[in-house]
């Protein structure tokens, strides 16, 4: 079986995609990934047994075309053409579209081919787009029309033969809204790490040494208002008088629409010497930064989107034995209660976030215990080797169909 994954980004931008692709290759499937080429990479290459097929489209034009797709569907037609060529050239026998918004183009390309289609929901996209600053400011809102995604959701999901969700509760939410979607067609696959691969990455001792004199809070991922950016900065203001050696290490790109607010905080006279900001690091460097930190945080604003699953970063934090301080969204609250790997705090409450961090600052032994609990949970349960079994079972079922 040749599985054709469809991704409207670069291949390595989200650990979920290469993890799935590598796992399927290791279990005997051929995997081709059609994705975008922003940085003049080869248009075809094979990495870890995964065949990557790229076509060029600048980030700027991708953002423009995708941002207006609900008004001018040119983006869908570009992808439909690319997917059609992809299927024919590489003799794809099953399609795997990453995220809700890619299923329409896959469906259009597949109308005469009748290949099985799986849609892989990385998040609750209709709810996610409600939190995107770029999509909700006039005049862009008039073109982006973010409210349309909820109206499209049922129709788009009906194009798929199988639907992958992050957690069981999200499946329940979808099925309660759309009873005609058969429960048997859903598969659960969370954002878990490839533990063997991650733990084998080299560690840069100089990164750890730079932070030895500080009490370091780390956040890794996209930075924006919807991700709790303001909350992290406000909690830091509370903590600075109590922990003079504190540092907030932020790693990741800032949502373009939120950059003015981000720069306002970064230039705040009280904060700027307590923040270390890295716009980008190679994922191979992440273990060094995790080991250089004392506590890892995620302050994403509570919403139906964040109730639809747990991000990669949470399990990555846990794998490297770092206690976590996170917003009390339903799935993360359940995870923390189950594993005792850290603390949750009340949504939008910087004082509560700061209080939980202070507790960990005062109790190094508690940090160590919670860190060990987190790693044990990932090694035993929340890892690719366990979660991947559902993917393999799905494609074994698809391959056995007449």
Task: Please state at what angle helix 59-67 crosses helix 74-90, rounded to 10 degrees.
Answer: 120
Q: Which pLDDT does position 120 carry in this prediction?
A: 98
Supply angle C-alpha 157, 382, 158, rounded to 5: 5
- 398 and 162 Cβ atoms separated by less than 8 Å: yes
Q: Which residues pair with 296 in a beta bridge?
A: 218, 324
Q: State mean pLDDT over 339-365.
A: 97
Q: Which pLDDT does position 363 carry in this prediction?
A: 98
Domain boundaries, the chain: 2-191+384-399, 196-380
Q: Which pLDDT does position 106 carry in this prediction?
A: 98
pLDDT single digits (tens) 166-223: 999 999 999 999 999 999 999 999 999 999 999 999 999 999 999 999 999 999 999 9
Q: Which pLDDT does position 257 carry in this prediction?
A: 87
Rounded to whole angstroms, how far apart are CA atoms 13 and 29? 22
- 103 and 156 Cβ atoms separated by less than 8 Å: yes
Which percentage of the chain shows pLDDT scores above 90?
A: 90
Q: Which pLDDT does position 190 carry in this prediction?
A: 97
Rounded to whole angstroms, how far apart are CA atoms 375 and 220? 18
Please give the sequence-ordered ranges of beta strands (E in DSSP) within 83-226, or none if there are none. 94-98, 117-120, 162-165, 186-188, 215-220
Q: Poorest-confidence range of 142-151, 238-247, 377-386? A: 142-151
Q: Which pLDDT does position 137 carry in this prediction?
A: 78
Rounded to whole angstroms, how far apart are CA atoms 329 and 304? 9
Q: Tell me if domain 2-191+384-399 and domain 196-380 are identical in fold.
A: yes
Mean pLDDT of the chain: 95
Residue among 380, 369, 384 at smallest CA distance from 321: 369
Inform me whether the pLDDT recorded for 135 exceeds 90: no
The model's pTM is 0.94
316 — pLDDT class (breaks 50, 70, 90): very high
Q: Which residues pair with 264 in a beta bridge?
A: none
Q: State mean pLDDT over 79-83.
A: 98
Residue among 99, 91, 97 at smallest CA distance from 5: 97
Q: Which pLDDT does position 273 carry in this prediction?
A: 96
Q: State mean pLDDT over 225-230.
A: 94
Inform me whether the pLDDT recorded for 269 exceeds 80: yes
For residue 58, give both structure tokens: 């600048």
Among 3.40.30.10, 3.30.450.20, 3.40.50.300, 3.40.50.2000, name the CATH number for the domain at 196-380: 3.40.50.2000
- 46 and 62 Cβ atoms separated by less than 8 Å: no
Which percentage of the chain shows pLDDT scores above 70?
A: 100
Rounded to whole angstroms, how far apart are CA atoms 94 and 106? 11
Tokens 């194009």 map to which residue? Answer: 159
Q: Poorest-confidence range of 50-64, 137-151, 335-349, 356-370? A: 137-151
Supply angle C-alpha 325, 384, 46, rounded to 5: 120
Rounded to whole angstroms, how far apart are CA atoms 289 and 184? 41
> How many other C-beta atoms are found inside a 10 Å radius of the C-beta of residue 331?
20
CATH number for the domain whose boundaries are 2-191+384-399: 3.40.50.2000
Contacts of 321 (CB under 8 A, 6+ apart): 368, 371, 372, 374, 375
Inform me whether the pLDDT recorded for 142 exceeds 90: no
Cα radius of gyration rounded to whole Å, the chain: 21
Could you give the C-alpha distances from 135 to 127, 226, 258, in angstroms and in order?
12, 12, 12
């Amino acid at each position: 079986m040749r599985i054709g994954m469809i991704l409207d980004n670069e291949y390595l931008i989200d650990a979920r995609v290469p993890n799935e692709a590598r796992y399927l290759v290791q279990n005997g499937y051929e995997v081709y990934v059609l994705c975008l080429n922003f940085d003049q990479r080869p248009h075809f290459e094979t990495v870890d047994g995964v065949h990557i097929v790229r076509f060029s489209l600048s980030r700027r034009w991708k953002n423009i075309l995708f941002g207006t797709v609900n008004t001018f569907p040119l983006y869908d037609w570009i992808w439909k053409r690319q997917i059609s060529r992809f299927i024919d050239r590489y003799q794809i026998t099953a399609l795997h579209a990453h995220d809700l918004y890619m299923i329409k183009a896959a469906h259009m390309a597949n109308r005469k081919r009748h290949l099985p289609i799986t849609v892989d929901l990385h998040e609750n996209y209709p709810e996610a787009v409600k939190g995107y600053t770029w999509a909700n400011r006039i005049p862009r809102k008039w073109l982006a029309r973010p409210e349309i995604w909820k109206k499209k959701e049922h129709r788009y999901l009906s194009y798929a033969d199988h639907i992958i969700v992050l957690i069981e509760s999200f499946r329940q939410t979808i099925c309660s809204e759309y009873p005609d979607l058969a429960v048997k067609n859903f598969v659960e696959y969370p954002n878990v790490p490839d533990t063997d691969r991650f733990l084998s990455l080299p560690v840069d001792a100089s990164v750890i040494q730079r932070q030895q004199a500080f009490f370091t809070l780390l956040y890794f991922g996209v930075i924006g208002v919807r991700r709790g950016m303001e909350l992290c900065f406000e909690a830091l203001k509370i903590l600075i008088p109590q922990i003079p050696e504190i540092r907030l290490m932020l790693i990741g790109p800032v949502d373009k629409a939120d950059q003015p607010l981000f720069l306002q905080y970064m230039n705040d006279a009280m904060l700027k010497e307590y923040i270390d900001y890295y716009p980008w690091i190679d994922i191979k460097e992440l273990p060094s930064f995790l080991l250089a930190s004392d506590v890892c945080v995620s302050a994403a604003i509570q919403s139906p989107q964040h109730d639809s699953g747990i991000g990669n970063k949470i399990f990555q934090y846990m794998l490297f034995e770092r206690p976590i301080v996170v917003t009390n969204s339903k799935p993360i609250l359940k995870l923390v209660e189950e594993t005792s790997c850290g603390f949750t705090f009340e949504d939008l409450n910087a004082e509560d976030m700061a209080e939980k961090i202070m507790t960990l600052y005062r109790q190094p032994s508690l940090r160590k215990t919670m860190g060990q609990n987190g790693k044990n949970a990932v090694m035993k349960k929340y890892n690719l080797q366990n979660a991947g079994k559902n993917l393999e079972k799905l494609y074994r079922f698809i391959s056995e169909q007449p």
